[in-house]
Amino acid sequence: MLATRLASSMIDRIAYDEREAVLSIWFRDSGRYLYADVPRAIYEALKTAPSAGRYFNRCIKRRFPCRPDPERRKFRPTWAPPAR
């Protein structure tokens, strides 16, 4: 698996599994997502793009099947009424 950190306000790091053609993207605000059927050239271009966020929005978002990381657990605080 190929992996790299990005200097981006939107994306923390990316990884690419050549055998499966899966691009993993760790977003700073929402965690990791997996994009299927992604050519390696897309990974390489994202890695070197002047703006990773713009490249993602233009060339990846809504163009490849996507799913959240199945191992991701989202912890949310439970709501409780204020004590009186």
Residue 83, domain member (yes or no): no
Residue 84, domain member (yes or no): no
Task: Please give the tally of structural domains in the chain.
Answer: 1
Q: What order do you get walking across the sheet with 2-5 strand by strand?
A: 2-5, 11-17, 22-27, 31-35, 66-68
User: Cβ distance 68 to 25 under 8 Å?
Assistant: no
Residue 13, domain member (yes or no): yes
Q: What is the average pLDDT value for the chain, to the nearest integer? A: 88
Residue type, 13: R
Residue 75, domain member (yes or no): no
At 47, is the pLDDT very low, low, confident or very high (cuts 50, 70, 90)? Answer: very high
What mean pLDDT do residues 55-76 have?
85
> How many whole angstroms separate alpha carbon 23 and alpha carbon 2?
10
Exposure of 15 in the CB half-sphere (CA atoms within 13 A) = 11
User: Which is more confident, 77 or 14?
Assistant: 14
Residue type, 61: K
Output the pTM of the full model: 0.81
Residue 48, domain member (yes or no): yes
Range of the domain at 55: 2-68
Structure tokens at 5: 């950190």
